Amino acid sequence: MFPIAFVILILSCCRKHIPHSASENQKDSPSVTRLLSPKPGTVIQLGDSVEFQFAAAGQGNTLDSVVIVAGKGDHFRAKANPARFYWHSGQGRVGQVTLKIKVYYNDSLEEAHAAGLVVLSDMVPRKYSYKVMGQYPHDPDAYTQGLVYEGGYLYESTGLEGKSSLRKVNISSGKPEKVVPLEKDFFGEGIALFKDQIYQITYKTQVGFVYDKNTLEKIRSFDYQIREGWGLTTDGSRLVMSDGSSQLFFIEPEYFTQVDRIEVFDNKGMIPSLNELEYVNGKILANVYGESYIVIIDPGSGKALGKLDLRPLMPKGSEGDMGKVLNGIAYNAQTGRLYVTGKDWPVLYEIEIIPSL
């Protein structure tokens, strides 16, 4: 069970996104079946069982079976007592989940319902520590929005209208060897390296750009429907994008269309303000805007698996300054280490995660 205050908080954040039973929205004809439980916005932990209760309206109506679809290929059928049974949430996804329900009655008839649940993670995020292996100069005027390591160089996207750019940076000196400025109307955001091309998204203009990795020559632009662009990374076949919420969007890179989506939750609730992203060994690492930690995410379920607190690396006097927050994660696959920095930070840190990912 969860504390009442906590449940009220979760429901206040989530209920407006969760549909009620379809039977409640049918105005044209009366429903033959009613979903009595679970109530909309019921909060559970992943792996919990949930009681379902149905009632048949009017005499002569008999429930035959109920089918619940929770995801791709995840079907559950209740036959023995379809009016009351338990559905097990299994090990699917966390977040706001809508179950699609088909109720079969009177031998050959059916009716559709939907049930909205809030599914919390079944684990407490593991705490990770780190060891600083090196530190390098970083341009204190670089408003870092995206960071990628490749072949001994950092590729960096910087933000702010009129100051946004894509850069190829020498790590040792911290100086860019090439800078491509964005037009003044664009606010640069996350970047990802995919098949020798660099993808860059923008903040509120819903426009992105593709560059040649070696020359930083712009190849093409693209647009997208996601309201805001924040972070970007790739799992090797898809791009993964954040929009400053608790959601991550999976994108096919040719037309930049959304093919999947997850929400990131820990055992207490959603983790909002996901920002700069990096894909590392099957996990997604994300800065949380305004926070001094990186969250480690399972891309299949959305569960927050761990947290890496980098507060000791924050520049002196930067606490509370939203213009100098932690924001920049790049992975060196050869060493297994991360490069991390922040907006307008004077230092880039090379760190080793303990235990390693």
Residue ranges of the domains in the chain? 4-120, 126-354
Cβ-contact 310, 324 below 8 angstroms: no
- Produce one character per residue of 94-103: b if its CB has 16 or more CB atoms within 10 Å, e if not: bbbbebebeb
CATH no., domain 4-120: 2.60.40.10
- Summarize pLDDT for 122-135 with one digit per residue, the tens: 999 999 999 999 99
- Summarize pLDDT for 12-55 with one digit per residue, the tens: 444 333 333 443 444 455 678 889 999 999 999 999 999 999 98
> CB neighbours (10 Å) of residue 132?
12
Cβ-contact 193, 234 below 8 angstroms: yes
Q: Is the pLDDT of residue 61 over 70?
A: yes
User: Among 99, 97, 68, 107, which Cα is nearest to 85's?
Assistant: 68
Burial class of 343 by CB neighbour count within 10 A (0 to 12, 13 to 18, 19+): buried
Select the highest-mean-pLDDT range: 2-6, 111-115, 318-322: 111-115
Averaged pLDDT, 56-83: 84
Please indicate whether the domains covering 4-120 and 126-354 agree at the CATH topology level: no
Gyration radius of the chain over CA positions:
24
Compute the distance between CA of residue 118 and CA of residue 138 in angstroms, rounded to an integer.
Answer: 42
Predicted confidence at residue 22, as pLDDT, reads 40
Predicted confidence at residue 14, as pLDDT, reads 41
- Summarize pLDDT for 6-24 with one digit per residue, the tens: 433 343 444 333 333 443 4
Q: Which residue has the tokens 């909002």?
A: 272
Q: Which of 84-88, 237-241, 279-283 has the lowest mean pLDDT?
A: 84-88
DSSP helix, strand, coil percent of the chain (3-state; round to 5): 5, 55, 40
Burial class of 267 by CB neighbour count within 10 A (0 to 12, 13 to 18, 19+): middle
Predicted confidence at residue 339, as pLDDT, reads 98
Q: Which CATH class is domain 126-354?
A: mainly beta
The torsion defined by the Cα of 274, 280, 282 and 286, in degrees rounded to 10, comes to -10
Tokens of 273: 């303000």
Predicted confidence at residue 12, as pLDDT, reads 40
Provide the percentage of residues in the chain whose pLDDT is more than 90: 78
